[in-house]
Amino acid sequence: MLEAKAMIRKQEQAEHFEKIGAETVLVDLEGEVNDIVKAADDVDAIVFTAGSGPKTGPDKTMMIDLDGAIKTIQAAEKANVKRFIMISSYDTTRKAIQEASESFAPYVVAKHYADE
């Protein structure tokens, strides 16, 4: 039987996931890797879908979309999670970085390096 645990970044996200039967755990992607390890306890797979959102600046984009992704990958390794699925962007190639608008470039760069 499949059971879902939603690692959420904001408490107001809990209600949505709890309505569909998922356990929720609040995670700070700006915090320590070991905090994410605790949240990943007893999970077989992580599907990483977090993003800073379109209304944040480049600093928050790098902090969540790149650093948060890397911390979650490290946490998955420490917690012996068997599978890690990264939901990224439609195009994170170097060409996409070069062609991205100034406001979109930090997002593409973050996703490019997180994907590697």
Which residues does the annotation mark as catalytic?
107
| pLDDT for position 1 | 63
Farthest-apart Cα atoms in the chain, separation: 46
| pLDDT for position 6 | 92
| Token pair listed for 74 | 């490290």
| pLDDT for position 45 | 93
**Comparing C-alpha atoms, which of 66, 75, 110 is closest to residue 92?**
110
pTM of the model as a whole: 0.82
Q: Cα 19 vs. chain centroid, distance in angstroms?
A: 22
| pLDDT for position 66 | 87
Residues 6+ apart with CB under 8 A from 52: 60, 61, 63, 64, 65
**Spans of all domains in the chain:** 5-115
At the topology level, CATH places domain 5-115 in: Rossmann fold (3.40.50)
Measured in degrees and rounded to the nearest 5, phi and psi for residue 61 equal: -60, -45
Provide the 3-class DSSP secondary structure of residue 70. Answer: helix
Residues of the chain under the 70 pLDDT cut? 1, 90, 92-94, 96-97, 106-107, 112
